[in-house]
Amino acid sequence: MENLLENKDTQLVESAMNIIINEHIKLVHAINYDEVAALIPIITNAKQIFIMGAGRTGLMMKAAAMRLMHLGYNVHVVGETTSPAITEGDVLIAGSGSGTTGGIVNAAKTAKKVGADVVCITTNGNSPLANLSKQTVLIPAAQKQERDENVSKQYAGSLFEQSLLLVFDALIQTLWDLDGSSASELWERHANME
């Protein structure tokens, strides 16, 4: 009996993985890659890059910050104690599924006020954050409040957060290809006090 239960659990896990992967395959064909590519000159021309997101989206954005650092960019995570003031010539890259998160919208207002660029990655192209942004990357995934199983069977914005990481990784891979640095050069910037 126990072996049958384990087999059913295994099938459930495999089914869940297939649901997630198939949602991403569908999403890959719905993303406007011109919007993503438009971030390349903004990032490469920025004096400093500030990364921001809340909750699980914030965790994905921190992963993006680390990868940008590996590429040699001057990058900071908003809210960390060592993050300096944003100034003219800098860019704030904000991730927010809804584009309405108060702290992120307020940070975008501050960035614009000092002359920094704002870009966002969101599901809501008409949000306050998108309206403050020089460039918006729209990820057509369900927001965490939406329960539309035609968009995603996953819970509470998971598809957006996963897609955010994948889109940013594609952007990082492109920046790396354009830069031409070797993996060994990037490795020299990897944390060595672990």
Distances in whole angstroms, Cα of residue 86 to Cα of each of 77, 92, 111, 158: 11, 8, 6, 30
Phi and psi torsions of 175, nearest 5°: -60, -40
Active site residue 161: yes
Query: What stretches of 46-157 show up as alpha helix (H) in DSSP?
Result: 55-70, 102-113, 128-132
CB proximity list for 63: less than 8 A, separation 6 or greater: 165, 168
Measured distance CA(142)–CA(99) in Å, rounded: 13
- Name the catalytic one among 35, 88, 161, 194: 161
Catalytic amino acids?
Answer: 161
